[in-house]
Structure 1
Amino acid sequence: MSLKRFFLFVFLFISPSFSALLAPITKHHIQTSRFYTLKLYLMTPLQHTDLLLHIGAKYTAVDCNHNYTSTTSWPVPCNSPLCHSLQKFQVNTTNCNITRTTRNRVPGGCVILTHNSHARVDSLALPTTNGCNQGQLRVFPKFVLTCSAEASKLLKGHAKKEIVGLAGLGYSKYSLAAQVSTTTSIFAVCLSGSPSAPGVAFFELPKPYYFLPGVDVSDHLNYTPLMFSHITTQKTNKKHFEDAYFLGVKSININGKPTAIDQTLLTINTNGKGGTRISTLDPYTVLERSIFTTFIDAFTKESTTMKLKPTKPVKPFNLCYEADDVLETYLGPNVPLVDLVMQNDVKWTIFGENSMVRIVDEGLDVWCLAFVDGGVKSVSSIVIGGHQLEDNLLQFDLGAKRLGFSSSLLQHKTMCANFNFSINSTIKLF
């Protein structure tokens, strides 16, 4: 037995308990919209609940008027220490809701204006894990969430009826990741590109991350500083604050050649604008107008050296190629490589599988560059969207303020859909 396999045996079968947790992540594709949901257990009795995955949301928000019945749910009292803590970053907050009374909105309830909702406590559960399989459920009986019929509006109008809220993974101490963490401030997400086989989120697990056929992805992570910043987005004429995760991208290279980008756009200014952030809500990477124009020009130039000729673009994309003209490889279509070069000089390489999207319709079969124009007034200069995140494992280490990223797992002959969700009864509760 090799030394590595010996230590894996010890970890899996001799270690008596695990505090690490996991949750499946499912991809949804409705028309031109792509989004991801995280499955967990909520309420008492515990029920499977699908929530929109929002990497930057402060709280987990649920529409409590949508088939929400729980024997362990109770409102956070107005003027309680917990209520004041929840409202810490809000401006002109009214502490109490004393004018409306419904089944789920009670006099004296703690109002969270960010979601135009109030705070509640209920039971939440996630499966334990050893990094290879899932085990028994671990219950968190005092999980704090926000509760309002308006939670459905936060889903941007594209979610299915069974999706009743959102799972917030921002850096607030009331995010999902923070509330299920007791020993380490680390979580990881791996979005699957398959609508039938889920990806996975890990909580409190620094390593290992085993994916079939036995690849420990933690061996293939590069690290770069992770930055935090509150951003304000405008939705339905109301301001919503997000705990966004930013990366120090200093250049974008196409086939190893730097593009000419205004460096001031790559830095977060005093108003919270600019920089590069990660989003699970945007289906594709969004680039500020001048960055987008430069990027498209450079990509087109490099693609011509590969004998690729652009064809009529398909909205919302600006650059497409006939599928018959593009060679396909195990890393996706053979197109120019895109590198996001970080401030510490490590590179996030985006291969064809993540840079391109295939569109097939009547008489149409094209590969399109999956980057879109964010205009001149974009809040963040670069927003790395879901398609570019698929089949990449991202480890958010909030304590060390760093992001671990794998680039495409296809390089290592695995993918995010390859986690083994079969239940291992030997994995005990923490």
Structure 2
Amino acid sequence: MAYSPLSFNLLFTSLILFISTSTSQKTPSNKPHALILPVTKDISTNQHITRIYQRAPGIPISLTVDLGKANLWVDCENNYISKSYRNAKCNSPPCKLAGSGSCQSCYMGPSPGCNTNTCTTSVTNEVTDRLTDVGEVALDVMYLQSTNGSKPGKLVSVPGYVFVCGNTKILEGLPKGVSGMVGLGRAQIGLPYQIFKAFNLPKKFGICLSSLPRSSPGAIFLGDKPYVFPSQGDVSVYLHYTPLITRPFSIPGTNFRNDPSTEYFIQVSSIKINGKNVNFNTSFLNMNKEGFGGTKISTTKPYTTMVTPIYNAFVRAFMEQRKNIPRVKPVAPFSLCYNAKHFPNTQVGPNGPFIDLVLHQKDVFWRIYGANSMVKVGRNVVCLGFVDGGNSDTAIDIGSYQIEDNFLQFDLESSRLGFTSTLLLHQTRCSNFNKRTQA
């Protein structure tokens, strides 16, 4: 059953009551099988938002999900109040976890985000053209929902969660009510790794982004299967796998004191539309030794972008498959649009050509159906939901629209990505996981 607005509100009301009566602990709660975070879609920005509980007393914090970002950052300028807040002293273990080599002297504090002899690290808003500042590394208590893989369980606490204090100006471009961003990237300070370590969980997490608005959330699963959806059972049985690739430098072309990227890359070898190859120079798809190229998975890009040579060939190939259908005036940011009557709805969305991202082997491909390729932008208009990425340092950025209602598992133990294609093939979607709290 989908997660109704009423049950969503009741769940968080009960969690607030629980947290407000809890005291800070020195060790995490009893080990859960896995943890779950609800993820909602903000229609006005196409960003995906999760909610955690932080501070003492605990309050709900809304955060934009950034799959590849290294850390969790929160606006500490706007009334951050917590009895359990601790700034990370210079050269302390939390500073090393954050990869910080800098210390600050603050003459306005002491207060959250402004303390002397505290280490700092970068705060980045990937949504707003990589808007970056420096923030204080800090620790506070966090509360998350446990799950056995089929329904939520008890609330558990992480007393010393390491995060970064940002400032209000970095919130530019994020939805109203959002207090920061949560990074799921491959870094020790990232949410997955901190939770894996706190509860000794397998180094695996799953993402299922809902295509529906706030009243029908998807989920992030921190831990291993099962991922049980009503009437379908464990959706991990539908997973296909491809290796995860590490970009050697977080800033391509730079190797001076530059750590490997925390983002998630896969090898796309070619692209097919209705089984026919898209003709372009496939060397664009390969990541070179300086870190340029490759295919990245992103939750801060609303739609998949391709560098111009690939995009132009891709659009030409798509038009060839629908050459007898007249086009209509493009609607930004898209360049190819049609009258919706030519793309009638099916079980897997508008009846457009299927798109295959052929991966590390020819028989392994990620198939994209109409639900993830065609975007309805008006009553009678649908557009090809891919965007010209210009001269990007990444050949392809797979955006959130293309992964909605797909289940993805990031297996960090085996460095591989599991993917299902659309769950609509199996008569379910990401909003159908049972997120109701246990009595």
- TM-score, length-normalised on structure 1? 0.86
TM-superposed deviation, 1:106: 0.5
Q: Could you tell me how far apart the structure 2 residues matched to 1:414 and 1:179 are?
A: 31
Structure 1 residue corresponding to 2:352, chosen from 310, 313, 335: 335
The 5 Å alignment of 1:288-303 reads 288-303=307-322
1:94 partnered with 2:102: yes
Counterpart of 2:429 in structure 1 is 415
The 5 Å alignment of 1:265-344 reads 265-304=284-323, 307-344=324-361
TM-superposed deviation, 1:100: 5.2
Structure 2 residue corresponding to 1:165, chosen from 155, 177, 180: 180
Per-residue deviation, residues 221-265 of structure 1 (Å, max 9, x unmatched): 0011011224339xxxxx999511001110110001111232221
Q: 1:85 to 1:423 in 2, by over 3 A?
A: closer
Counterpart of 1:193 in structure 2 is 211
AA in 2 matched with 1:352: G
Q: Could you tell me how far apart the structure 1 residues matched to 2:315 and 2:46 are?
A: 22
Q: Could you tell me how far apart the structure 1 residues matched to 2:109 and 2:406 are?
A: 46
Counterpart of 2:409 in structure 1 is 395
Contact 1:326 1:333 in 2 (8 A): yes
SS at structure 2 position matched to 1:95 = strand
Contact 2:242 2:416 in 1 (8 A): yes
Counterpart of 1:5 in structure 2 is none
SS at structure 2 position matched to 1:82 = helix
Counterpart of 2:122 in structure 1 is 113
Q: 1:106 to 1:18 in 2, by over 3 A?
A: closer
Q: Give the share of equivalent positions with the same residue, in percent.
A: 37
Q: Could you tell me how far apart the structure 2 residues matched to 1:34 and 1:113 are?
A: 25
TM-superposed deviation, 1:309: 2.4
Counterpart of 2:18 in structure 1 is none
Q: Could you tell me how far apart the structure 1 residues matched to 2:261 and 2:135 are?
A: 16
Structure 1 residue corresponding to 2:75, chosen from 63, 79, 91: 63
Q: Could you tell me how far apart the structure 2 residues matched to 1:401 and 1:344 are?
A: 16
Q: 1:310 to 1:240 in 2, by over 3 A?
A: farther
The 5 Å alignment of 1:4-403 reads 18-30=32-44, 33-87=45-99, 93-98=101-106, 101-104=109-112, 105-113=114-122, 115-149=133-167, 153=170, 155=171, 157-181=172-196, 182-195=200-213, 196-205=215-224, 207-229=225-247, 230-232=249-251, 243-304=262-323, 307-345=324-362, 346-360=364-378, 365-375=380-390, 377-403=391-417
Contact 1:97 1:111 in 2 (8 A): no
SS at structure 1 position matched to 2:291 = coil
Q: Could you tell me how far apart the structure 2 residues matched to 1:315 and 1:293 are?
A: 16
Q: 1:113 to 1:420 in 2, by over 3 A?
A: closer
Contact 1:97 1:110 in 2 (8 A): no
TM-superposed deviation, 1:64: 1.2
Counterpart of 2:15 in structure 1 is none
Per-residue deviation, residues 327-385 of structure 1 (Å, max 9, x unmatched): 2111111111100110133111000000010011xxx620100000011x201110000
Counterpart of 1:236 in structure 2 is none
Contact 1:43 1:123 in 2 (8 A): yes
AA in 2 matched with 1:414: T
Q: 1:283 to 1:79 in 2, by over 3 A?
A: same
AA in 1 matched with 2:383: C
Q: 1:118 to 1:240 in 2, by over 3 A?
A: farther
AA in 1 matched with 2:104: C
Contact 1:170 1:243 in 2 (8 A): yes
TM-superposed deviation, 1:17: 7.2
Q: 1:211 to 1:85 in 2, by over 3 A?
A: closer
TM-superposed deviation, 1:162: 1.5
Q: Could you tell me how far apart the structure 1 residues matched to 2:210 and 2:292 are?
A: 30
Q: 1:400 to 1:39 in 2, by over 3 A?
A: same
SS at structure 2 position matched to 1:228 = coil
Q: Could you tell me how far apart the structure 2 residues matched to 1:417 and 1:342 are?
A: 28
AA in 2 matched with 1:309: P
Q: Could you tell me how far apart the structure 2 residues matched to 1:371 and 1:380 are?
A: 15
TM-superposed deviation, 1:68: 1.8
Contact 2:110 2:116 in 1 (8 A): no
Q: 1:214 to 1:17 in 2, by over 3 A?
A: farther
Q: Could you tell me how far apart the structure 1 residues matched to 2:361 and 2:73 are?
A: 36
Contact 2:250 2:262 in 1 (8 A): yes
Contact 2:298 2:399 in 1 (8 A): yes
AA in 1 matched with 2:268: V
TM-superposed deviation, 1:99: 5.3
AA in 1 matched with 2:192: A
SS at structure 2 position matched to 1:180 = helix
Q: 1:342 to 1:221 in 2, by over 3 A?
A: same
Contact 2:97 2:189 in 1 (8 A): no
**How large is the RMSD of aligned CA atoms in angstroms?**
2.0
Q: Could you tell me how far apart the structure 2 residues matched to 1:419 and 1:85 are?
A: 33
TM-superposed deviation, 1:271: 2.5
AA in 1 matched with 2:105: N
